[in-house]
Amino acid sequence: MKPEKRDNVIASRRKVLKGMAAIGAASTMPGLVPFAQAATDQPIRIGFQVHRTGIGAAYGRWYERTTNAVAKYINDNGGINGRPVEIIAEDDGTDPKRGAEVVEKFATQHKADIAFGTLFSHVVIGSAPRAGELKIPYFVVSEGHHVASGMLNRWTLQPGITDVKSQVQAMAPFVAANLGKKVTMIFPDFAFGHDHRDYFSAAIEKQGGNVIAKIAIPPTETSFTKYFAKIPRDTEVLYHVMVGPSVLTFVKEMGEFFGPSRPEIFGFIDSLEAVDLKTPGLEFLEGTYFWEGNPRYAQKNQTEYDRFYRAAVGVDDNGASIDDPRDVSTYAHMWGCWETLNVVKAGMEAANYRGPGDRAALIEAVEAMTDMAEGRDHPQGAKIFNGRTHQVFGHQYISRVNGGRLEVVHRTSIEDTFYPDEVDYTKMSF
């Protein structure tokens, strides 16, 4: 029996030595050093609330691709505090009721460290109260002003994408200086459209212009010609923001109504995210202007960071999938997922995050952030984070349609997007 025992000991020693040699070899490989040091640690579990079905599915598909890409990027560079990132995705159906249930599932069943990734505002508003009650950090990528307005709670943050209020007001100086000062607005008659109406009206007045007509389109509308007849003749700029499947009809009917003599036209790309600008019927958009959160088409002065990010998420120079040129991305928005998870990484490392017991410390670490330099972690551009309002501010892009491509004609300063604080979340208890 003894020799056998000895053999076992030798065998186990050999195994240990082999294991140590393997770890040693792995430690010399780039990107694996921290994993090797934290080999026994569990992954950081990111609960990803994704719109796989419902009205947000087109956005959700690209949000998911971007999230998987940034998780790979983080893991390739050593993970977070030496621990790999694991994405746990759950479909919320773009439904606030299900969204709240998904957040509960992340917190209590999946034991996720954070919840992340929600886009549509009504889902955020339905889910955030539960995140606050369950005390799980909730990093949204929504653009909504709901975070900075003070409506939500200390556990909800938006550090990776700018909000609609800052985007809209930053457009006014360019519109007034280059396109005209008498503006007619066409917008959907629900909260998203009303935000545009209210924030842009105030901003253009500060630039010496004014909105001479506000035309609200009911959400169930499918034909728009009768609304175009309400546009005043002295309109210099038509500001439009439409969402949903009827946008193609909207553009087509707008072209038929105006013909060759049209005012300057400015819109938000939200209408045409995931839509090919060369789609028949969109020819009328030639020469018109769009807000973009991040330029869909690779520009002549493309940064190395955009080049890197574009390749990582699998998007070509035209903003479409590398695998399928017909699969157009939601490039103006999806970068928010990339940057948000990089902020989470930075926050967790600053807080020396070890587990759910450090969630409050993570929030405080993110609240303490201010400047975020342009780079691979922030390929859209530099940012300034406001810890009091839990909202990040950044550059906005204005592009003109030239030959069916969007070419950037103006990049706002970050300061153009600032507005006075409406809340101080840091004064709220956890």
Partner 1 sequence: MSRALTFHIGAIIVLAVLQFILPVYHSGNLARIMVLAVYAMGYNVMFGYTGLLSLGHAMFFAVGMYGAGLSIRLFDMAAAPAFGIGIIASILFSLGVGLLALRTIGVAFMIVTLMFSQAIYLLILYFNPLTRGDEGFVIPQAVRQVAGFDLSDPTTRYFAALLLFAIALLGMVWLVRSRTGRVLVAIRENEERARMLGYDSWAHKLFAVVLSGTMAGAAGAAYGLLFGSVGASFAEVPFSILPLLYVLLGGPGTVIGPFVGTLFMFYLRDISSSFTDAHLLVAGIVLVLLTMYARRGIMGVVRERWAKWLP
Which residues make up the interface to partner 1 (CB under 8 A)? 52-53, 90-91, 95-98, 100-101, 104-105, 108-109, 121-122, 125-130, 132-133, 144, 146, 151-153, 189-192, 194, 218-220
- Residue 268 CB, shortest distance to partner 1, in Å, is 17
Report d(CA 242, CA 192) in Å as an integer: 10
- Residue 122 CB, shortest distance to partner 1, in Å, is 5
Report d(CA 172, CA 51) in Å as an integer: 32
- Residue 223 CB, shortest distance to partner 1, in Å, is 17
User: Angle of helix 96-108 relative to helix 121-134, nearest 10 degrees?
Assistant: 30
Report d(CA 398, CA 301) in Å as an integer: 15
Is beta strand 210-217 parallel, antiparallel or unpaired with respect to 237-240?
unpaired
* Closer residue to partner 1 in complex, CB, 130/383: 130
- Residue 152 CB, shortest distance to partner 1, in Å, is 7
- Residue 133 CB, shortest distance to partner 1, in Å, is 5
* Closer residue to partner 1 in complex, CB, 136/277: 136
Residues found in the chain? 430
Report d(CA 426, CA 364) in Å as an integer: 8
* Closer residue to partner 1 in complex, CB, 310/359: 359
- Residue 121 CB, shortest distance to partner 1, in Å, is 5
Residue 150 structure tokens: 């003070």
- Residue 352 CB, shortest distance to partner 1, in Å, is 27
- Residue 137 CB, shortest distance to partner 1, in Å, is 17
User: Which residues fall within 8 angstroms of residue 301, CB to CB, at 6 or more apart?
Assistant: none
* Closer residue to partner 1 in complex, CB, 115/265: 115
* Closer residue to partner 1 in complex, CB, 19/218: 218
* Closer residue to partner 1 in complex, CB, 116/187: 187
* Closer residue to partner 1 in complex, CB, 212/216: 216
Are 48 and 71 within 8 A, CB to CB? no
> How many degrees, rounded to 5, is the angle at CA 71 between CA 70 and CA 76?
95
* Closer residue to partner 1 in complex, CB, 53/426: 53
Report d(CA 164, CA 185) in Å as an integer: 16
